[in-house]
Structure 1
Amino acid sequence: MALAACLFLALESNNTSAKDSLSPIEQYFGQLNDASYDDIGLSYREKAGSIRRIYDESISADQHAEKLASISDHDLKLLYESAHLAAFYTHDQKYLADMQLDLAELVRRGLDSDNNYVDLYATLVSQRKFDDARLLGKQHPAQTFKPLPSYQDLTESTENGPSVLTLSEGQHGLEMNRTTVDLTSPTTQIVVISHPLCGPSSRAMHDIQSDPALSKAFISHARWITPQDGNANFDVLARWNNQNPAFPMSPAYRQDDWPMIDIWATPTFYFLQNGKVVKTVSGWSGQDSRHELEQGLRQIGLLPLKP
């Protein structure tokens, strides 16, 4: 999203007149960009909803081929960035479709850039359109896209609810399977939002591992989940899982399928009873966080209550 911010900063620096001198698309993009940085007191769904509302009310009307043909080059680039921003925060396929529509017009004008394809590839991966991402890679071999593992959906078509991408080594390399998660099972009473590249997540895991009571509970009852994103760090996840087999991480297939999770910042610990969250612990600060985890384990019956 850094490119989007840079575009808007450049836009502001080149326009010294009043804000009303900006085109409507420039103003709407500014509103979207501001909303993307508004984290104060907002859950994941609230922030996504705010971005969706601004986009749908202000930008969607311009996302039609006949309108794009007559729009300025500058505004066309901002429309693409707006669709990318909306897709990034909402994971909604309709914004991916707008990205593809805008990119087609950028290509027609000879204005497409490497960053456009990098953003599109990441969006396809984040929305779990792995075949389309592979096709994009074949169409643009000069781009250094991260290769994707082979993929198979092992869920039933009628199944709803949380699911993850489990990673394993197969005969032909890394394999990725979509599997469901039963949050009412005794083996999933703790959900940890984490990531191998997150320093606090790594420190939390090592502190938990070094504490016999915490380690026993987390090994038997925790599910470590990474947020839905388009970074394609599946090799990093596989390496983490090989090095930490007691604490394997799996990417969430789709965040919206986890309605009980409203904070996807890492690390965040959710303690569940019968699939419902009874305690949440965010961040990691060493001993204080350990005490909070112990409290959560007592609430769900995995540690005895203090006398």
Structure 2
Amino acid sequence: MANRGRDFVATVQGQWREKSHRDLRILAQDEFSRLGLHEALVTGQASTTDAATQRAFFEALHLLAFTTQAAEHALALRAFADSRQVAPTLTVTELRQVYGVLIAARQFAAAQAWQKRMDEAAREFLPIIIDRLGPGASPSVWVVGKTPDTLERQVARELAGAQVIMIAGLGCPFSQAALRGIAADPLLAARLAPLTQWLVLPESRLGFRDLRAWNEAHPTMELMLIHNLEDWALVERPATPQFFFLRDGKVVARIAGWPKEGRSEAMHDALDALEHERTGVTR
């Protein structure tokens, strides 16, 4: 089983830059089943093997949960890690990895409980979660609530008319540079403000206090957390930052990355193209 776990990791990691997020997610789930790892999980065989095999299986299951960001796989990793045979052997890194996939899968209650097992330096503040939406509500986002220290799930704005979608990462320095660069450019910020949904990818840390601090300082550029990346089909690869310029859901222009010199000219050109789609004239 250890070799099968290693084969799974090698296959998925080997396709990481080649496939779209959707195709990679399908590949990971198919390979996990094809190699018999899913069966070993559901029968409990995986947790009753020797320590080296448990390590290899943990790595494979963690990669499955990390790749898919699916609740079922994140919770399966937690259950495996919490089993009587595996729990006493978990490393500090593995404890953090379980927490990370629970956060990315938006399993906040499970993450809150798991965090108590982690070293204090690795813990983070988690807000009160308010989720009044049913499982069929998509796409949806998490926003900083009006009540202090709350995070609330809401239906995302419909992709109608002219819109810009920014895909950012709270832990991505290029995303941070892009956000700071736009905020420091009054004309660009003013053009983007009424059109843009500022979205943050699911990551292994929630970063609520950083999110709240940014939003308080930049109320016209409020960041929102994506609930489930599967709901955003236009994001083929979860690279950050990315900007999608849309007209009625159709991508008119896309800008990826943020160099040191910024992308002000390219952003204005893309906004002009978006305006041209509506009026037939440019700025």
Is the TM-score greater than 0.5? Answer: yes
Unaligned runs of 5+ in 2: none
Q: Does 1:291 align with 2:261?
A: no
Q: Give the 3 Å change call, closer, same or farther, for CA 133–26 of structure 1 in structure 2.
A: same
Q: How far 1:54 moved relative to its partner? A: 2.0
Q: Is the 8 A contact 2:200 2:223 kept in 1?
A: yes
State the TM-score, normalizing by the size of structure 1: 0.79
Structure 1, residues 29-85: CA drift from partner, whole Å, max 9, x if none?
A: 244245225443432222323322322211212213442354222111211121111
Q: Does 1:189 align with 2:163?
A: yes
Q: Is the 8 A contact 1:35 1:51 kept in 2?
A: yes
Q: Look up the match of 2:155.
A: 180
Q: Does 1:160 align with 2:137?
A: yes
Q: What letter corresponds to residue 180 of structure 1 in structure 2?
A: V
Q: How far 1:220 moved relative to its partner? A: 1.1
Structure 1 residue aligned with 2:82, among 104, 107, 110? 104
Structure 1 residue aligned with 2:32, among 44, 48, 55? 55
Q: How far 1:96 moved relative to its partner? A: 2.3
Q: Does 1:251 align with 2:225?
A: yes
Q: Look up the match of 1:85.
A: 63
CA–CA separation in structure 1 for the residues paired with 2:82 and 2:216: 41
Q: Does 1:137 align with 2:111?
A: no
Unaligned runs of 5+ in 1: 1-23
CA RMSD, 1 decimal: 2.8
Q: How far 1:215 moved relative to its partner? A: 1.9
Structure 2 residue aligned with 1:208, among 158, 182, 198? 182
Give the 3-state SS of the residue equivalent to 1:110 in structure 2: helix
CA–CA separation in structure 2 for the residues paired with 1:195 and 1:98: 26
Q: Give the 3 Å change call, closer, same or farther, for CA 236–33 of structure 1 in structure 2.
A: farther
Q: Does 1:67 align with 2:41?
A: no
Q: Is the 8 A contact 1:44 1:262 kept in 2?
A: yes
Structure 1, residues 2-36: CA drift from partner, whole Å, max 9, x if none?
A: xxxxxxxxxxxxxxxxxxxxxx4324424424522
Percent identity between matched residues is 18
Structure ID, larger Rg: 1
Q: Give the 3 Å change call, closer, same or farther, for CA 287–70 of structure 1 in structure 2.
A: closer
Q: Is the 8 A contact 1:153 1:177 kept in 2?
A: yes
Structure 1, residues 244-274: CA drift from partner, whole Å, max 9, x if none?
A: 2221211101111112221321110011111
Q: What letter corresponds to residue 31 of structure 2 in structure 1?
A: I
CA–CA separation in structure 1 for the residues paired with 2:135 and 2:17: 37
> Which range moves more in the overlay, 262-271 or 289-298?
289-298
Structure 1 residue aligned with 2:6, among 9, 29, 52? 29
Q: Look up the match of 2:242.
A: 268
Structure 1, residues 131-156: CA drift from partner, whole Å, max 9, x if none?
A: 12222235x3755421210011143x
Q: What letter corresponds to residue 220 of structure 1 in structure 2?
A: P
